[in-house]
Chain A
């Protein structure tokens, strides 16, 4: 196993909060409030972050370099410049690996249920 693979393997499984945040910004960069709302909708209203929790995870992901902060071109909101968060290459690799892991878990479950139903 290469060093990169080992590091990727050690990061998995992701916590639900991390997974949904990464998933939320997988297609396009988003600012904090948009992530908050998107995670709520992605999880079917099950996960509702407090702002403290959201930025705690964002801070950790920035430190791990799974996401990056980019300046938003849109006009500032109430005098505050909006900052968007985007997935980095490393973050995308981790997210893909987690999706693959979840798929394999699900495949195993389907296989077992399929056997039992036969």
Chain B
């Protein structure tokens, strides 16, 4: 007797729901990361609700299709910078004037320090390009310049550690430039001028490193969080 082999024909399933679920969960995860950019008080008050509303909006859009979904993502991204600025300004307005002043200084130092770090790293790419004839004696200075510039960028996020590193590498860089000038034995440059050039290179890093360190220890840094917790 011949046994008829048969296979259960797999039912055609629509892959869209599973795919949508992945897209949805991925977008929600990304949205949660974006919410972390808001001030602590705002996050504590609204992040959970915002996530819920975003989830419902996504589900609604997925029913209509991917165009609706793209529109939602576009709207969120388009409005995000302005919403962040407004939320930060609103959070800062609730703080005492002295704290507001410190926060303004902190932002100024961050912006200028960050720009300085990026500018110097960009300068290094020019110095290290093959067309540039770099003396081997200058390599320690270049390394120190790289470390000090990177420390400035680290200080944007970790003020205390970044500040200390910036000061250290800044001083190191000043010493390296002094040694470099001395080793190259350019007789035209006096000892005083050599020292002056070394200090001139180190000074911005020492100033910004100290500012980052000092501001990271100021209680105003936690002002928004502290205010929310006290509420």
Q: Which of A31, A56, A58, A77 has the most CB of B within 10 A?
A: A56
How many chain A residues have a CB neighbour from B under 8 Å?
22
Nearest chain B CB to A71 CB, angstrom units: 12
A8 at the interface (CB under 8 A from B): no
Interface residues on chain B, size class? 20 to 34
The interface stretch among A21-29, A47-55, A91-99, A104-112 is A47-55
Q: Are A52 and B53 in contact (CB under 8 A)?
A: no
Which residues on B sit within 8 Å (CB–CB) of A53? 79, 83
Cross-chain pair count, CB within 8 angstroms: 64
Which of B46, B84, B94 has the most chain A CB atoms inside 10 A of its CB?
B46
Name the residue on A nearest B31 (C-beta).
Answer: A51
For residue B41, which residue of chain A has the nearest CB?
A59
Give CA–CA (A53, B46) in the complex, Å: 12
Tell me if A56 and B87 are in contact (CB < 8 A): yes
| Main DSSP-derived SS at the A contact region | helix
Interface SS of B by simple majority: helix
CB within 8 Å for A50 and B78 given contacts A33-B56, A33-B57, A59-B87: yes
Contact with B along A8-40 (1 / 0, CB 8 A): 000000000000000000000001110010000
Which residues of A have CB within 8 Å of B80?
50, 52
Whether B76 lies near A51 (C-beta < 8 A) is: yes
Top 8 closest A-B pairs, CB basis? A52-B83, A50-B79, A50-B75, A32-B53, A55-B46, A80-B52, A33-B53, A50-B76
Instruction: List 18 other contacts, CB 8 Å, given A33-B56, A52-B83, A83-B49.
Output: A32-B53, A50-B78, A51-B50, A51-B53, A51-B54, A52-B80, A53-B83, A55-B50, A56-B83, A56-B86, A56-B87, A59-B42, A59-B45, A60-B86, A77-B52, A80-B51, A82-B49, A82-B52
Interface residues of B (CB under 8 A from A): 42, 45-46, 48-57, 72, 75-76, 78-80, 83-84, 86-87, 90, 94
